[in-house]
Amino acid sequence: MTTDLLKSSSPSSISADGVPLAAPQIFSAVREILSSTPFIDIHTHLFAPSFADLSLWGIDELLTYHYLEAELFRSSDVTPEHYWTLSKSQQADLICRTLFVENSPISEATRGVIAVLHAFQLPTGDSALAEARTFFKQQNLESHVPRVLQMAGLSSVIMTNDPLDPAEAPLWLNGAASHHQFHAVLRLDRILNTWQQHWQALATQGYAVDAHASGKSISEVRRFLADWAKRMRPVYMACSLPDTFEFPSDSLNGLLLRDAVLPSCHELKLPLSLMIGVRKQVNPRIRLAGDAVGRANLIALENLCRDFPSNRFLASVLSRENQHELCVLARKFNNLMPFGCWWFMNNPSIVEEITRERIEMLGASFIPQHSDARVLEQVIYKWANTRRTLAPILAENYRLLSEDGRPVTRGDIQRDITRLFRSNAESWMNLGPRA
Ligand code: FIX
Ligand code: ZN
């Protein structure tokens, strides 16, 4: 039985979805399907409404986003020390004046704020701030959240939850209400990267651990992870790692990863997300804006994928120089899922470059993007940017496929876009229909 390669196997070959598209129709079909398919945002720093105090939203939070703070200090004489003495609204006033009035908001991050105001039909000129403040004051979080996710074309978002965060942990311990559009993640940076500073927090929660992670520490860390997995029902565990990350290693990080985290992920059937390449606090004066990037040695990731074949790894790398290697590693290990254009990679010119090579090397077997949103309304511009950047790239690949002799249908395009922005995540994270 020969399969007819030239004929699409997508189920809807009889309906309009099955009709081969002419080359000029491909781009608009891709754009329509990108905008009509609800995405899953697999990495954000957003919180469900029940985490009210931790949920950042509204114009003052949008303006004081650490991406904009980094840009403020380049265009203003204010010292970081003085900036931190200002109130949130004074900081927002200063950033608005400096980056949106005295300069053109042409950077990706400043354009983002303009796009959010425009999405709410709010003015975007020099006097925008006052009217925006009035508008956001009138919003009720319970109804604002689903509206914003709808505007961003998202069915759900995945949070970043730290069981050792002094502000967040008590909310979970007191039974924070879940929300059907927000899924939890067990974030392990304090355990894997700064054990010396944080082992006592585990001890305070009743786990017999010590500074050297000796004695019962490993089994107690595993008990800690199991307890928090029951409490949070996370869809994966995650950790950001420095550019100097090595594995295997005799360090505490290496030991905790090998003997506690990986076995727990395996037992709990949870993937481990590794975000590799951050150089923390190269300039601590500017706080969250003070992190930078370094090229990592991805042999560590290669060793993890090879030596732990029954663990699943999500990976995003911060350095541009590591992107190609990650693609190649994913061709070697099917327990590795590359995802997103993380942080300093999340700029249209670089998203384009990364996505093109991923499609050429991995087809649709990767997760193109996540928003990393810290402020609720950021998902509106970050996903609009992603849809705008990806439409011509996907269309070009379909045009080439059609030129090479295989007609393309809407059904094909819908299947691939659903896989890229939904089913890869659903299958990898046991998200299933609730996502
Ligand atoms: O480690 C992370 O999850 C990073 O995304 C954040 O730490 C970073 O500050 C950020 O907001 C990047 O967009
Ligand atoms: Zn993040």
- Tens of pLDDT, residue by residue over 130-171, are 999 999 999 999 999 999 999 999 999 999 999 999 999 999
Please work out whether the CB of residue 264 comes within 6 Å of at least one atom of ligand 1: no
Q: How far apart are CA 103 and CA 421, in angstroms?
A: 35
383: phi then psi, degrees, rounded to nearest 5: -80, -30
pLDDT higher than threshold 60 for residue 402: yes
Q: How far is the CA of 412 from the centre of ligand 1 (A)?
A: 34
pLDDT at 13: 46
pLDDT at 4: 46
Please work out whether the CB of residue 406 comes within 6 Å of at least one atom of ligand 1: no
Please work out whether the CB of residue 240 comes within 6 Å of at least one atom of ligand 1: yes
pLDDT at 15: 61
Q: Rg (Cα) of the chain, in Å, rounded? A: 23
175 DSSP β-pair partners = none
Pocket test for ligand 1, best of 240, 245, 314, 317 (most atoms within 8 A of CB): 240
Pocket test for ligand 1, best of 372, 376, 379, 385 (most atoms within 8 A of CB): 372
Q: What is the pLDDT of residues 198-239, one digit of tens each?
A: 999 999 999 999 999 999 999 999 999 999 999 999 999 999
pLDDT higher than threshold 50 for residue 404: yes
Question: Cα dist. 175→170, 171, 178, 231, 406 in Å?
Answer: 8, 6, 9, 8, 54
Q: What is the mean pLDDT of the chain?
A: 95
97 DSSP β-pair partners = none
Q: How far is the CA of 183 from the centre of ligand 2 (A)?
A: 15
Q: How far is the CA of 284 from the centre of ligand 1 (A)?
A: 15
Q: What is the mean pLDDT of residues 190-200?
A: 98
pLDDT at 396: 98
Residue 61: alpha-carbon gap to chain centroid: 19
* Ligand 1 atom at shortest distance from the alpha carbon of 189: 1
Please work out whether the CB of residue 167 comes within 6 Å of at least one atom of ligand 1: no
Q: pTM here? A: 0.95
